[in-house]
Amino acid sequence: MSTPIVRDSGSVITVTGANAIANNAYSNSADVMRIQLSSLAANYLLADFRLSFTYGTAPVAGSIQLIKMPRDFSGNQGGTPAATLLGAQIFTFGPLPQASNTVKAFIFSVDSVPLDFDADYWIFNNATGQSIVSGYTFAAMPWSPGT
């Protein structure tokens, strides 16, 4: 008989966005989530991310993306994503708004993102045509497969 695989989960890490994120823009550096394995209860391998907020007007296109920018082994920041410095580790949150969308309140999710030794996690508002208002909740739950 085999042992089932279960999640060994850590505590939820939460950032409340103090700054709006304009269309086609990255989150403000003050609202970035930093996850260091050394500060967690265990060396978790993965994290599930959630982003909760309400748009003023329902988006009908675009996507919200998670951008991972690893730090060096001394903890120095790996850079600020911008039009001239694109993040290479990009994860797209679901759901994706479509042409007939009328929903304004969302809980976006992306699961099983590999964690680095130390990295910053940015949000990119990719062509939704709407701003993400301040006060949004950005959360991560680190985890690893366990038995």
Whole-prediction pTM: 0.93
Q: How many CA atoms lie within 13 A of 124 on its CB side?
A: 24
Q: What is the mean pLDDT of the chain?
A: 93
- Sketch the domain layout of the chain as residue ranges: 44-142
Write the pLDDT tens digit of every residue in 39-93. 998 889 999 999 999 998 999 999 999 999 999 999 999 889 988 888 889 999 9
Collect all residues with Cβ–Cβ distance below 8 Å to 129 and sequence separation of at least 6: 23, 59, 60, 61, 62
pLDDT value at residue 84? 84
